[in-house]
Chain A
Amino acid sequence: MTRILRSLRDGIGFDVLLVIIALSYLLVFAGLPLIYNVIISFQTVDVFSLGTLWHPNAGFDNYRAIFDDPLAGRVLWQTIVFTLGSVALQFTFGFALALFFHQNFTGATWIRGLFLAAWVMPGLVVGVLWNWLLSGDFGVINHLLESLGLIEDPVFWRSNVETSLYAVLIANIWYGTPFNMILLAVGLAAIPGDLYEAAELDGANAFQRFWTITLPMMRATIGAVLALGIIFTLQQFDLFAAITQGGPAGSSTVAQYWSWQLSFREFDFGRGAVISVLMIIVVLFVSLIYVRSTKAETQL
């Protein structure tokens, strides 16, 4: 008994205990819901049987229904456009801002902090804000574009099937850029300054320094930022709910919103679960990239 206690206090037992705590947390709060979700995707579940533990088996019916749905192809395409568009532009703007503030001019840290204000706002608030900005008849963005002479007639961002997805995309880029900036700024700060000094002495110009020092040294951070960006974008729900509700005519429905619609508007939890299972598979791949880049980071 005392041996076990002592081992717990300062032997290998302590390590095992820590691992057990972490693992059981993961199992209870992440593993079980994940597995349950996979199970539900093979069952017929409506809201009145949701509370019961076991539901009638549906085989692959839910999967077939999803793939046969006329909306499926469009949702897939829209999800790809939304995710890649968001991540690419959030990253580009985030990186540009991070480099800008890395110049360390007076007040740089303060202003950089202010940029985070956008990111700490709740998604629904951001959504309502952009809902007003993008409004067709009285929107600020239309007013700006019209006064600049860029457009003649107002663009109905939210109500036009051609633009509704981009309306949410624009809002999401604005929303996610500060987060990218902060993570990339941390990566930039970690690069030793003497590397740049040495390169400058050797006659490397700004572009060469960026290409041969900044980018390679940031590889791990960039991998992590991109992976997190994809995961966060695939989680983005509030903006869709606040700005377009996936419409009009499904033109801004992405996978995560469709899953919610199926589960909580049509109360077909089986089909809703199918989409989340498919999304989990994608996220697992992206997580692998994330884990690999953080591993590279710790090895540095």
Chain B
Amino acid sequence: MKRLVYASVLALMTGAGGAVAQDVTLTLWTESATAPESVFAQEFSAIDNGITIEIREIRFDDLVTDTLRAVATGTNPDLIAIDNPDHAAFASRGAFLDITDQVAASDVIDIDAVFEGPRASLTWDGRIYGIPRASNTIALYYNRDLFAAAGLDPDSPPRTWDDLLEAARALTDPENDVYGIAFSARASEEGTFQFLPWAQMAGGSFDNINAEGVADALALWKAFLDEGLASPDTLTRGQWDSTGTFNGGNAAMVISGPWELGRMASDAAFDWGVTLLPVREEGGVRASALGDFNLAIFANTDHPEEAFAFLEYYMSQVDRVWPEFTRLPSVAGVALAPTGDARIDAAAQVFTEQLSYARNRGPHPDWPRISQEIQTAFQSVLTGQAEAQEALDEAAARIDGIMN
């Protein structure tokens, strides 16, 4: 026993002694210690390259707030994983490091292979300010068992808004605590993320939020709530919790993204499938939201080269983000390796196609304020405090004021 203690103390001492010379410690802020960047950062630290990355986990809701405060006081980390619509706020004000030249010289990072959407989100004024972590988007998950029980065909899930509304009506079963559909209309970025695709399918966009059809999109959402097809808590619940009710069998459909696949595969005690977001009418425009994070280096870091080395390491591992984390690579030419779960592999097809219709939020340095106006509009309509067109017109006017 005593020898064992000696041995470990000795190992600790030599380990520390050998490292003192050129050890560099970087800090990384992220929403989750189990996300790809965190896992890759641990692997990167374990490599004998003198660089250690310390990970700090910050709740998604607080990530931007805490980071802005840190930037204002100069206490920001070296690296961050940040939601892509928030990227421009930092890049445009010089908080992130311009890595255009390093990327051009890099053998590992090929920025031209990055899909257009993610690339636009991390570009500001023609310069590159980060790399994409992954991409995601939302689609419609449905409970195949409940479809069969309600007399619907599990092999032909809803294709149009009318189909979706009909299906939600048929599936809603208050006796057994089952809502037809779950989604998130929360007054946060998640709500904007969920609402914009519907507005876009109806011909609107964040800079044209009062386009003619957007009121119809709101009418659809309002019908879900008013007819009791979705829980009233939809207004205050995020996507993760909404999907939790689907996994628990209390909602027959849910609108959410591929990040749910792992949990659903283990939690859901029923057969489920994924399909594209229904369109406004047969043959209508498809749209969806481009989600997920970017990785960026802060401009004031003392170790830009070491931090960039981590971005290169991340990119070298990018083919693992699908099989291990069910996130879609943002880089062309990466095959989605089979995961061994037929349902997840089938979902891969759907999400890949859905992603090709995904549109950016922004990029705009004042995105949080634009997003807030959109949230105010849909929440005031869904709670019956304003008429749809009126609320959308007002939001459009205010967004105009922010953008110009």
A50 shortest CB reach to chain B, Å? 4
Q: Is A177 located at the chain interface by the 8 A CB criterion?
A: no
Report chain B residues within 8 Å CB of A160: 232, 383
From A156, A247, A264, A266, contact of B379 by CB (8 A): A247
Q: Is B233 located at the chain interface by the 8 A CB criterion?
A: yes
From B71, B188, B383, contact of A48 by CB (8 A): B71
Residues of B in contact, count (CB < 8 Å): 31
Q: Is B354 located at the chain interface by the 8 A CB criterion?
A: no
Interface residues of A in 136-163 (CB under 8 A from B): 136-137, 156, 158-161
Q: Complex: how many Å from CA A156 to CA B234?
A: 10
Report chain A residues within 8 Å CB of B232: 136, 156, 159-160
Report chain A residues within 8 Å CB of B93: 48
As a 0/1 sequence over residues 226 to 246 of chain B, the CB contacts with chain A under 8 angstroms (1 = contact) are 000001111110000000010
> What is the chain A residue whose CB lies nearest that of B92?
A48
As a 0/1 sequence over residues 180 to 218 of chain A, the CB contacts with chain B under 8 angstroms (1 = contact) are 000000000000000000000000000000000000000
Identify whether the interface residues of B are mostly helix, strand, loop, or mixed.
helix
Interface residues of B in 191-237 (CB under 8 A from A): 231-236
From B68, B71, B233, B380, contact of A158 by CB (8 A): B233
Inter-chain contact A266/B382, CB cutoff 8 Å: no
Q: Complex: how many Å from CA A88 to CA B177?
A: 38
Q: Complex: how many Å from CA A25 to CA B233?
A: 47
Report chain B residues within 8 Å CB of A161: 383-385
B61 shortest CB reach to chain A, Å? 9
> What is the chain B residue whose CB lies nearest that of A269?
B72
Q: Is A244 located at the chain interface by the 8 A CB criterion?
A: yes
Inter-chain contact B372/A47, CB cutoff 8 Å: no
Q: Is A107 located at the chain interface by the 8 A CB criterion?
A: no
Report chain B residues within 8 Å CB of A276: none
Q: Is B32 located at the chain interface by the 8 A CB criterion?
A: no
Identify whether the interface residues of A are mostly helix, strand, loop, or mixed.
loop
From A248, A265, A267, contact of B383 by CB (8 A): A248
Q: Complex: how many Å from CA A170 to CA B18?
A: 59
Q: Complex: how many Å from CA A158 to CA B235?
A: 9
As a 0/1 sequence over residues 251 to 275 of chain A, the CB contacts with chain B under 8 angstroms (1 = contact) are 1000000000000111100000000
From A135, A137, A158, A248, contact of B382 by CB (8 A): A248
Interface residues of B in 19-65 (CB under 8 A from A): 65
Interface residues of B in 55-90 (CB under 8 A from A): 65, 68-69, 71-74
Inter-chain contact A136/B231, CB cutoff 8 Å: yes
Q: Complex: how many Å from CA A29 to CA B236?
A: 37
> What is the chain B residue whose CB lies nearest that of A51?
B72
Evaluate whether A48 and B72 lie within 8 angstroms (CB atoms) in the complex, with A137-B250, A161-B383, A264-B65 already known.
yes
Q: Is B376 located at the chain interface by the 8 A CB criterion?
A: yes
Inter-chain contact A51/B74, CB cutoff 8 Å: yes
Inter-chain contact B233/A137, CB cutoff 8 Å: yes
Q: Is A78 located at the chain interface by the 8 A CB criterion?
A: no
Q: Is B368 located at the chain interface by the 8 A CB criterion?
A: yes
For B69, B72, B234, B384, the residue with the greatest tally of chain A CB atoms inside 10 Å of its CB is: B72
B62 shortest CB reach to chain A, Å? 9
Inter-chain contact A159/B385, CB cutoff 8 Å: no
From B188, B368, B385, contact of A245 by CB (8 A): B188
Inter-chain contact B385/A249, CB cutoff 8 Å: yes
Report chain B residues within 8 Å CB of A264: 65, 68-69
Q: Is A250 located at the chain interface by the 8 A CB criterion?
A: yes
Q: Complex: how many Å from CA A266 to CA B93?
A: 16
Known: A247-B236, A264-B68. 18 other contacts (CB 8 A): A47-B68, A47-B72, A48-B71, A51-B72, A135-B233, A136-B231, A136-B233, A137-B245, A158-B236, A159-B232, A159-B234, A161-B385, A244-B236, A248-B382, A249-B187, A249-B382, A266-B368, A266-B369
Q: A-B pairs with the 6 shortest C-beta distances?
A: A156-B232, A249-B379, A50-B72, A248-B235, A159-B232, A47-B68
| B interface list, Cβ under 8 A from A | 65, 68-69, 71-74, 93, 95, 177, 186-188, 231-236, 245, 250, 368-369, 372, 376, 379-380, 382-385
Please list 29 pairs of residues, one from A and one from B, whose beta carbons are closer than 8 Å in the complex, sorted by A's number. Answer: A47-B72, A48-B93, A50-B72, A135-B233, A136-B232, A136-B233, A137-B177, A137-B231, A137-B233, A137-B245, A156-B233, A159-B231, A159-B235, A160-B232, A160-B383, A245-B186, A246-B187, A247-B236, A247-B379, A248-B236, A248-B383, A249-B383, A249-B385, A250-B379, A264-B69, A265-B65, A266-B369, A266-B372, A267-B368
